[in-house]
Amino acid sequence: MARSPIWASRSKTRGMVLDVIRAARSISRVELATATGLTGATISEVVRELLGDGLVVEAGRGAPTGGKPRTLVQLNPPARYSVGVQLERNTCVIVVVDLAGRPVARTSFQGVASMPPERALPIVASQVDALLTTAAVDRAKVLGVGLVSYGPQDRGAGVLLTPQPTEEWCDYPVASRLAESLGLPVLLDNDAAAAAIGEYWMGAVDPRSTYGCIYMATGIGGGVVVAGEVYRGSSSNTAEIGHISIDVHGEECPCGNVGCLENYAGPSALVRRALAIPELARRLALDPAADDFLTEFARIAAAANAGDPEARELVERSARYLGHAAVTVAVLFDLDAIVLAGQSFAVAGSIYQAVIQQELDRRLFARRAHPVRVVPSVNGADAAAIGGAVLVLQSELTLGIGRSEEDARLVAAGAAGSP
């Protein structure tokens, strides 16, 4: 597959200018020159090119600052789109976002992860096609697809390195096969890292801050963002807090470690504990044979919200464990804030937020130096899918700052259909 022509015009300077315009919402050419350190002549040339390509539009005049009023430019959101696909163990969420990162269409469906990838990926591709058609999005304006899933994964090769949900997914070239089915570039990334960068993009966090994300859906993941960049480590398998050991004598986890946090604090652990309390299981009508334990988990969370003491105790116990992990990540990275993202915070998020905040306030090494704020994700339960789409946009827009060249290389590799 040929590389998308949209990529051909990308340059570092252009990416940097576009990102500054995005972050400022509306800005004059003079302010752009100050913000980027580029000359007025360069800014004029780049802005002329961006106007010509329809990526930005003129947006009236700013207040005069002594001289004549300055014409402002702003992003043109419908000029480009990207797609985020989140593959969860039970659910697949697809979103289409515009150039400003705002969702314009969404769908979700169940069951693909339990199929072999040869069957599942064409279904995902047809759902993406259907969503683009429903939203009346011109395919020529779609930059690419951010496919996000749990780890461990080989981001560069676009493959998952885990036998979950089934052995067939391990080492399967998910990114290149989806790219072939769709005829669009596909970038593979970690769901928690994607959710974390989505917060930055939506302006929900101070762009200079160092913050972490605790992501909880079926499993528990994490991400750390430093000055607008996902901290990648050596292989992009960072901050996997669900697999921090909290008991060296604990049971072996499928990941290979023992006593992993996920097996104490995650939704499946909570459902197991609730089922072991016959009175509670009966009261909440929990189904011990349910495939989708997230539904059973949501019942426990709803009961906790409603004041059921046993359900509340279980949720608080899970939150306490997450607080323990939050303290660990905050100590390692000296975080300013922790964002809670993912569908498993959707029901009892306020209980989790309060308990994790308490743990940080009480136990954090640097608590006398500064607080660490715990906040819910602005992108709600779709944070990972939206973040996946944002990672594709970011690889186009922020190339100039030099932090996303690897992302752009991977998207381009996906465009070329390489494994």
Chain residues in the site for Zn ion (CB under 5 A)? 243, 253, 255, 257, 260
182/80 Cα distance (integer angstroms): 17
Q: How far is the CB of 254 from Zn ion (least distance, A)?
A: 7
Q: How far is the CB of 253 from Zn ion (least distance, A)?
A: 3
Backbone dihedral region for residue 111 (phi beyond 0: left; psi -120 to 50: alpha; all else: beta) = left
Check residue 66 and report its DSSP letter.
S
Q: How far is the CB of 177 from Zn ion (least distance, A)?
A: 27
Name, in order, each residue with C-beta under 8 angstroms of 26's C-beta and a sequence gap of 6 or more: 59, 60, 62, 72, 73, 74
Nearer to Zn ion (CB atom), residue 221 or residue 414: 221
Q: How far is the CB of 140 from Zn ion (least distance, A)?
A: 43
Check residue 64 and report its DSSP letter.
P
Nearer to Zn ion (CB atom), residue 15 or residue 221: 221
Q: Which of 111, 108, 104 is nearest to 134 (CA)?
A: 104
- 72: phi then psi, degrees, rounded to nearest 5: -95, 150
Nearer to Zn ion (CB atom), residue 241 or residue 326: 241
Nearer to Zn ion (CB atom), residue 31 or residue 240: 240
Query: What SS3 state is found at 306?
Result: coil
Nearer to Zn ion (CB atom), residue 253 or residue 281: 253
Q: How far is the CB of 257 from Zn ion (least distance, A)?
A: 4
List beta partners, residue 98. 81
Q: How far is the CB of 248 from Zn ion (least distance, A)?
A: 13
Nearer to Zn ion (CB atom), residue 54 or residue 233: 233
Q: Cα separations (Å) of 375 from 148, 173, 349?
A: 22, 35, 10
Whether the CB-CB separation of 391 and 144 falls below 8 Å is answered with no
277/300 Cα distance (integer angstroms): 12
Nearer to Zn ion (CB atom), residue 186 or residue 241: 241
- 90: phi then psi, degrees, rounded to nearest 5: -115, -25
Query: What SS3 state is found at 32?
Result: helix
Nearer to Zn ion (CB atom), residue 223 or residue 388: 223
Q: How far is the CB of 225 from Zn ion (least distance, A)?
A: 23
Q: Which of 69, 148, 213, 178 is nearest to 415 (CA)?
A: 178
Q: How far is the CB of 116 from Zn ion (least distance, A)?
A: 24
Check residue 243 and report its DSSP letter.
G
